[in-house]
Amino acid sequence: MAEKWRKFKEDMKKKRLSGKSQKGKDVSKREITVQMLSADVSGKAQKYSRIGPREFVQLYDDDDEDLDRFYTKEEMTVERVKDACLKHFEPKVGNNVVCDILAGEQGPSCASLKQIPNMNLIYVRSINKSSTADAPVFVDDTDPVHPQSTTVKRKGPNSVPSPKKAKISTPMPKSLSVTHMLKLGKLINKSTTTIHLYGFNLADMSWSSSPRAVEFSVSEDVLGEGAFRKAYKAESKDESFAGSWVVKEYNENALDVIAETNQTLETHTKKVVQMHSLAQNFASQLKTSVEQNGMQESFGDCFHYGSVYLGKKGDEFVTVEEFVDGEFSKYINNDGTLCKNVNEVILQKAECLSHFSFEKSNNQVMVLDIQGCGYSLVDPEVASSSLFDENKELLFTTGNLSFEAIAKFKLIHRCNEYCELLKLKVLV
């Protein structure tokens, strides 16, 4: 019996190593050839750029017990390929990323093995976990024989991600100190905070009708405080929102000012998110213009804004924004004045962004209050040429200093090399 079993194992091993394929795809490989691509598309062709040379990625460890048998198509999954790529590229991209498999240099994302056109060369990109709210929602491919769907659903920049299929895993037990062990002997009152999130879709100018309930562990310590709001750092274990966030709540002074403008807190908070989406769009347009005209080297880094959501915490309206780590700086005030040495490159680019937004809007609006950590911006304000619309409704938020701020910026601003690269018209 032992001899028969040994012979059976050898036959199966030969069958596996023979590299037979099903339907033209080699699914018995121990390693695959992978081309890493950039996280975002660029250029006129809207392609993902190649990063480095092609690399061999090992699908199975040499000591994997499963190597003693032939792998069929049912055992080869997209998730296995993703896990192998994450493990292989971790020294380069870190562990705070997720893997996305693409059909080619122009996409789209592949949700199943059937959608990969060529198993001899697989294209992948890595996306930061904090940015997965902006990324497509991928179909779980755990069961390749009966996939749930072959459609990849794409979301808008600030759309609330749909819940993903839960995966059963065996978590490692947490190592506890004696201090933590003793704390468990007393009643712990701390609990997570559930915030119902609404996303704004700039593409079709609409709000999500159904909120997404997300649990956050919100710090009791104030991270920062401005004239209107207090900011608190928050963490979430939710798969679509895993990582660090900032929850911003109104202070008493803000409540009084907002009431004086005949706006509700919900209306004002929604306008904050909409205004952020507009500033985000201007920054993206500027970056696209730089890339399409091949000016990446001469222009250098471009500004960008993260994702922001309208949140409802009980009866309170808040914003939930991506956490930006680093030293905070303000470059331009909401009144149009400059905050730093005008010779600094980053300030010149901030002025260029304000100038760019004014020209792109046909002199109707200007992005101001430009601030953040390096090129990661937060909390913009938009000044409009008219403070009210035809129905006497206040445009944007209470930080809109309108034509006065625009006039002050125009008086101070002198076009720099970045304005000239984008061929912006001189402000008069």
164-200 pLDDT, tens digit per residue, is 554 544 556 767 788 878 888 888 777 899 999 999 9
Give the residue extent of every domain in the chain.
Answer: 31-61+74-128, 193-422
Poorest-pLDDT segment among 256-265, 268-277, 364-373? 256-265
193-422 domain in CATH 3.10.20.30?
no
Q: For position 27, what pLDDT does the model report?
A: 44
Residue 253 buriedness (CB in 10 A; 0-12 / 13-18 / 19+): exposed
Asked if 289 and 303 touch (Cβ cutoff 8 Å), the reply is no
What is the mean predicted confidence (pLDDT) over 86-91? 85
Q: pLDDT tens-digit profile of 206-216? A: 999 999 999 99
**What pLDDT shows up at residue 142?**
39
The yes or no reply on domain 31-61+74-128 and CATH 3.40.630 is no
CA distance 87 to 303: 31
- Token pair listed for 199: 């996303």
Q: What is the pLDDT of residues 307-317, one digit of tens each?
A: 999 999 999 99
pLDDT at 72: 44
CB 101 within 8 A of CB 116: yes
Identify the pLDDT of residue 138: 37
pLDDT (0 to 100) of residue 211: 94
Note the pLDDT of residue 21.
44
Q: With 90 as the cut, is the pLDDT of residue 12 above it?
A: no
pLDDT-based confidence at residue 227 (cuts at 50, 70, 90): confident
Give me 416's structure tokens.
């720099």
9-23, 33-47, 58-72, 378-392, range with greatest mean pLDDT: 378-392
**For range 40-60, the mean pLDDT:** 81
Is the pLDDT reported for residue 69 higher than 70? no
Average confidence (pLDDT) over 42-68: 72
pLDDT at 165: 52
At 293, the pLDDT band (50, 70, 90 cuts) reads very high
Residue range 229-268, pLDDT digits in tens:
999 999 999 988 999 999 999 998 899 999 998 899 999 9
Residue 176 is predicted with a pLDDT of 76
Q: What is the pLDDT of residue 44?
A: 67
Residues 74-88: pLDDT tens digits?
457 888 889 888 888
Check whether 141 has a pLDDT greater than 50: no
Taking the C-alpha atoms of residue 405 and residue 411, their distance in angstroms, rounded to an integer, is 10
**pLDDT of 144 above 50:** no
Burial class of 267 by CB neighbour count within 10 A (0 to 12, 13 to 18, 19+):
middle
Which amino acid makes up residue 339? C
Given a cut of 90, whether residue 45 has pLDDT beyond it is no
* pLDDT tens-digit map of 124-139: 998 876 554 444 333 3
Say which residue, 81 or 360, is predicted with more confidence: 360
The pLDDT, as a whole number, for residue 360 is 97
User: Radius of gyration over alpha carbons of the chain, in Å?
Assistant: 26
Check residue 241 and give its pLDDT.
92
Please state, in angstroms and rounded to a whole number, the distance separating the CA atoms of residues 362 and 254. 31
pLDDT at position 280: 97
Write down the pLDDT at residue 29. 64
Percentage of the chain lying above the pLDDT 90 cut:
50
Mean pLDDT of the chain: 83
